[in-house]
Amino acid sequence: MLEIKNLHARIAEDGTEILRGVNLTVKAGEVAAIMGPNGSGKSTLSYVLAGREDYEVTEGDILYNGESILEMDPAERAAAGIFLAFQYPMEIPGVATMEFLKVAMNAQRKARGEEELKIPELMKRVRAAAESLSMDMAMLKRPLNVGFSGGEKKRAEILQMKLLEPKLCILDETDSGLDIDALKIVADGVNALRSPDRAIVVITHYQRLLDYIVPDTVHVLYRGRVATSGDKELAVELEKNGYAGLVGEAA
């Protein structure tokens, strides 16, 4: 479903190269974890996948279902089923969360050639999804993410993911800012989305999240490259020994 080939990307503004030849394949049905120390380029990779314009791809390619997405803008990528849950969700003053969800869900349905949802059906779906994440409906009347706690923002991201039913889900540090109960709720939400025709990429600094979302594959990003890959045991090993052992291999 996702094939990243020798991907090089730099910051558009100053030309600093952050991704320095990333190779990564994620199959449909798979949950892939991307780990790596702070500053290794994990968030940059997620932004480049989503098409953020602050970064320039200078070499390599990103194939989604076998086709390059490099020429697609972020909206086109979203319409094609790519979803990014941000490490730092943005506050959108003046846009009620419910209104945002309504517009996003119907835009996504339109992109898939489906009819718009009528308000009662839409409300029903949103209510069920919010309940499953233990979110208060009152929160959905508030502007998106404005004044939400760190944990509430992360739940709001997962809520969007559940409702938009993307094919390729990328979660950037969804565990940060969550206490253990919230972590379990969010992990349950992600696990419920596991399906043979969907791929989930979980970016995390810590192994802890992977106790709840058990990955099929684990990849370590280090200095802008995938330094090593393995299965879930690799994450356990990293938790024990840290990333220091990788320095020699990837430097």
- Interface residues with ligand ADP (CB under 6 A) are 11, 18, 36, 38-44, 54
Residue 42 or 154 with smaller CB distance to ligand ADP? 42
Return the number of the residue (122 or 227) whose C-beta is nearest Mg ion.
227
Q: 67-84 b/e with 16+ CB inside 10 Å = b?
A: eebeebeeeebbebbbbb
Tokens at 205, concatenated? 């600094």
Selected from 43, 145, 217, 228, the binder of Mg ion by CB under 5 A is 43
- Smallest distance from the beta carbon of 182 to Mg ion, in angstroms? 19
Of the pair 5, 52, the CB lying nearest ligand ADP is at 52
Tokens 């992977």 sit on residue: 210
Strands 67-68 and 55-64: what pairing? antiparallel
86/105 with CB nearer ligand ADP: 86
Q: Strand 168-172 relative to strand 17-26: parallel, antiparallel, unpaired?
A: unpaired
Decide: helix, strand or coil at residue 47.
Answer: helix
Q: What minimum distance in Å lies between the beta carbon of 20 and ligand ADP?
A: 11
**DSSP annotation string for 8-44:** EEEETTT--EEEEEEEEEE-TT-EEEEE--TTSSHHH
Stretch that binds Mg ion, among 1-9, 82-90, 180-188, 218-226 (CB under 5 A): 82-90
Residue 8's binding partner out of Mg ion, ligand ADP, none, with CB under 5 to 8 Å set by partner kind: none
Name the binder of 77 from Mg ion, ligand ADP, none, CB < 5-8 A by kind: none
* Positions that interact with Mg ion (CB under 5 A): 42-43, 87
